[in-house]
Structure 1
Amino acid sequence: MSAPQTSNPLRPTACPGLLRIVRALDGGICRVKLTGGAISARQAVVVADAAERHAGGVIEATNRANLQIRGIGSEQSALIDSLLAADLGPRNAASDDVRNLMLSPAAGIDRQRLIDTRPLAGQILATLQGDERFHDLSAKFAVQLDGGEALAMLEHPHDLWLSTFAREGELRLAFGLAGCPTEAPAGSVALEDGHALVVAVLELFLELARPEQTRMRHLLAEQTLENLRVRLSERVSIQAVTDWRRIADPGVLHIGAHSQSETGLAYVGAVPPLGRLDPATLRGAAQLAETFGDGTLRLTPWQSLLLPNIPEEHCVQVIQRLEQLGLLCHADQALTRMIACTGSNGCGKSSAETKGDALQLAALLHRHGLALSVHLSGCPRSCAAAHTAPATLLAVAPGHYDLYFRDAAQAGFGTLHARNLTIEAVAALLDARSRSPFDA
């Protein structure tokens, strides 16, 4: 792939991209946006090589199913060129920011799926990159496409979400604005109108939003949902949805081996501790995908990875090999449920070294036999988690955190439960809470 044209300057934003390296305390950050979270084994090796040769060797799985390379020094051009040569970049420089379309990591192979979302996703991504009007969207403006899979992240808010459902023998796409698929839909469209709906929503947003209104929630703060729905219905046929909600599967389906829709095949999910991979681990996972699977990896919004299309008789061996690489493949391991931002070692805004504190907390919870979903954030921005975790630790000083519990009635992290706790105190409190018969 040749380098994208750069006649249009890259927009100023704090969000890293492949072509825009953003500085942090530990060096530059490059974000590699993956189509549907998928990357070939060959491309994964290129990412590993780039991180090793041109950066600090730290690779992160993000909560939008992408990859980041950290610690980039002076060799930015060499790193970018190597990634572009592996076809890991946008069609043109102006479209890198807008490739924010999230699918299920099991798109096309999930046993519960109603449709394979990948063809429609390809149409949407081609439009986002090819239509210059949409290059004006914020680098954070995001779309989610859900095919009814059991493995689906349903807690991350998106500017536009689409979710497949069946009604009277017809498959349709429910949709919503500035929210999650588990919320009440704004309406639905025929499956064949999915692409037209996305275009209509983006066009309407750009027509109505002022420059400072970069997200759909900003527009909805002064425009009613009903008004937007009426305006959209002038462009695409919309029906009301009153008797359907997307229901989340309570299983931990991104970890371990799970059967696919095709008999005899499974995907295997593995979690890099705290979302971080080193080059050797990524290369090793890529080799396993080549040897036992179809030569691809899929990143997930849980900051983990899947190896799809593994013959079921090889799953035990693949899990053993992944564990030898340092990846976690069992949901009862405390560290599989832990989320932590970069922390003060790499970010000047962080009040604590969250990665190290998370490792300490995971070890303490493991002693108590607990595997709880906990998010450690070094500052209120919550960069590591796009959703509200059941328990959030907000750093107030090195090694000290305020503890919040998720509460649907409270915005942000939820309800403040205790202040200025050490990691040991947090572990003791979470242990006591888990044993309480009054704990909801």
Structure 2
Amino acid sequence: MPSPISRLTGEPLNQSQPAPAIRPSACPGLWRIVQARDGGISRIKLDAGHLDADQAEAVAEAAERFAGGVIEVTNRSNLQIRGVGNDPQGLIAHLLAAGLGPRVAAGDDVRNLMLSPAAGLDPALLFDTRALGAQILDLLQTTPRFHALSAKFAVQLDGGEDLAMLWHPHDLWLSPLRLDGELWLGFGLAGCPGQDAPVAAVPLAAGLALVRAVLERFLDLADAGQSRMRQLLEALSTDAFLAGLPLALRRDAAVLDWRRPRRDLARHLGVYPQQQAERVAVGAMAPLGRLSAAQLRGVGGLARELGDGSLRMTPWQSVLLPNIAVGRAERVLAALLHLGLITDAAEPLAGVVACTGSAGCAKALADTKGDALQLAFSLRQPVPVAGIHLSGCGRSCAMAHTAPVTLLAVGPGRYDLYFHDPALPGPGAVAGRNLTLEEAGATLDARPRSNPR
């Protein structure tokens, strides 16, 4: 059997690697199985969300053989297997054999790069980010010094696509803008392109050098208590940070006044256009972020039979099947719906995100998954995609940014209700305390619904 090939880099993947020294972290990884109430959690960090049909089958089989059969799509476009039992080494070996590991074992934690799920496909893209993305991933996982970065330290590379997550905070984000007829990369620190202006820009050809310089500068300056860029910038000005970068930076008004155009989140469900003639992508959401092994296996089979054999996980806890012939799109949609996935943004569960909840997490104060089901189907008004977030505690594991509406559990079946307000920290403005689901639903139905994203 030939070695697995990375869908992003096009290179063979290492199938057998010795376990690295496991550093302390609350974040699951391939080797770091974190225990939860429902068993161990293994997080599979994908190459910018990409995997192929054979790898999808391998994840499904691993979930059945070594765990409880539950697979989650994360808000960073990765997969994780829940309920890992008493043979974690068997699970790890199985995933490594499918090429679902880093090129260098010690680099697993730091493969935190987000691209658009429609990279290379989106009609609106200004450049195809996959080549630069592959270089950044290689830099992160093969540079020993960068293995000291936090397992949460994250980079986003944006190609100007309509289909892009613009609201997740990143330690470093890069987004293209056209200046004097040439493409440049604007970049920001400790923020996101959906709400922040760039702090500077470099020519597109300097993108990799910029990432290297920013990471080295961060590690040169950060102390033991500053694992994230935002923590460093609380003690050091942005100007002072930039002054130490060994690159020529453009910081005129054309850069500093630029803002990233925003698009509708709902477009990742159903049929999504591609720039390639007679081809489309088809998107479907995992209900409340969870797939069964049978569902993932079925999606992989569709990719193999009717697409190009690849899957792209998205930060909206969904999956995109690219390069579907236009004439096959309706067949793919029907098959995804038959598998139990959500293909229409108007479906009630498309509007709700929930963490694992008390059924699987000891820190959760409520059964958020069960409560989300009850709430979603009780609301009379439609909810924007990912518009309501139920969190079992203040850690907000299921969402990396603030939702328009947040229900924060205070006990079984009871929540504090917040509406997003950019002027306020945390989840926003309090709209009710210690509410039942019925009370929260009545408050939501009484309020005009819109999606500020």
- TM-score tier, shorter chain, comes to over 0.9
Whether 1:401 aligns to 2:415 is: yes
What is the aligned counterpart of 1:207 among 220, 244, 266?
220
What is the aligned counterpart of 1:246 among 260, 273, 287?
260
| Residue 435 to residue 369, structure 1, CA distance change in 2 (3 Å) | closer
1:61-99 deviation digits (Å, cap 9, x = unpaired): 000000000000101011100100011001233111000
Count of matched residue pairs: 432
Whether 1:316 aligns to 2:330 is: yes
CA deviation after TM superposition for structure 1 residue 253, in Å: 1.6
Conserved in 2, the CA contact under 8 Å of 1:370 and 1:431? no
Structure 1 segments of 4+ aligned residues over 2 angstroms from their partners: 1-6
The aligned counterpart of 2:38 is: 26
CA deviation after TM superposition for structure 1 residue 212, in Å: 1.3
Structure 2: segments with no counterpart, 5+ residues:
1-13
- Counterpart amino acid of residue 93 in structure 1: A
What is the aligned counterpart of 2:54 among 39, 42, 51?
42
| Residue 320 to residue 210, structure 1, CA distance change in 2 (3 Å) | same
The aligned counterpart of 1:122 is: 134
Conserved in 2, the CA contact under 8 Å of 1:267 and 1:308? yes
Q: Secondary structure at the match of 2:110?
A: coil
Whether 1:103 aligns to 2:103 is: no
**Which residues of 2 match residues 251-290 of structure 1 at below 5 A?**
251-290=265-304
**Which residues of 2 match residues 162-311 of structure 1 at below 5 A?**
162-182=174-194, 183-232=196-245, 235-240=246-251, 241-311=255-325
CA deviation after TM superposition for structure 1 residue 18, in Å: 0.6
Q: Within 1, Cα distance between the matches of 2:315 and 2:264?
A: 16
- Counterpart amino acid of residue 217 in structure 1: R
TM-score by length of 1: 0.96
CA deviation after TM superposition for structure 1 residue 251, in Å: 4.9
Q: Secondary structure at the match of 1:196?
A: helix
Whether 1:143 aligns to 2:161 is: no
Q: Secondary structure at the match of 2:267?
A: coil
RMSD value, Cα: 1.3
Conserved in 2, the CA contact under 8 Å of 1:405 and 1:414? yes
CA deviation after TM superposition for structure 1 residue 3, in Å: 2.6
1:95-147 deviation digits (Å, cap 9, x = unpaired): 11000000000000001001110100111111111110000000000000000
What is the aligned counterpart of 2:95 among 63, 83, 104?
83
Conserved in 1, the CA contact under 8 Å of 2:63 and 2:69? yes
Q: Within 2, Cα distance between the matches of 1:5 and 1:224?
A: 41
1:346-401 deviation digits (Å, cap 9, x = unpaired): 00000000000000011102xx1422410000000000000000000000000000
Q: Secondary structure at the match of 2:247?
A: coil
Q: Within 1, Cα distance between the matches of 2:70 and 2:256?
A: 47
Q: Within 1, Cα distance between the matches of 2:343 and 2:210?
A: 38
What is the aligned counterpart of 1:12 among 1, 24, 29?
24
Structure 1: segments with no counterpart, 5+ residues:
none
Q: Within 1, Cα distance between the matches of 2:85 and 2:206?
A: 46
Q: Secondary structure at the match of 1:119?
A: helix
Identity of aligned residues (%): 57
TM-score by length of 2: 0.94
Whether 1:94 aligns to 2:106 is: yes
1:205-232 deviation digits (Å, cap 9, x = unpaired): 0000001100000000010011111112
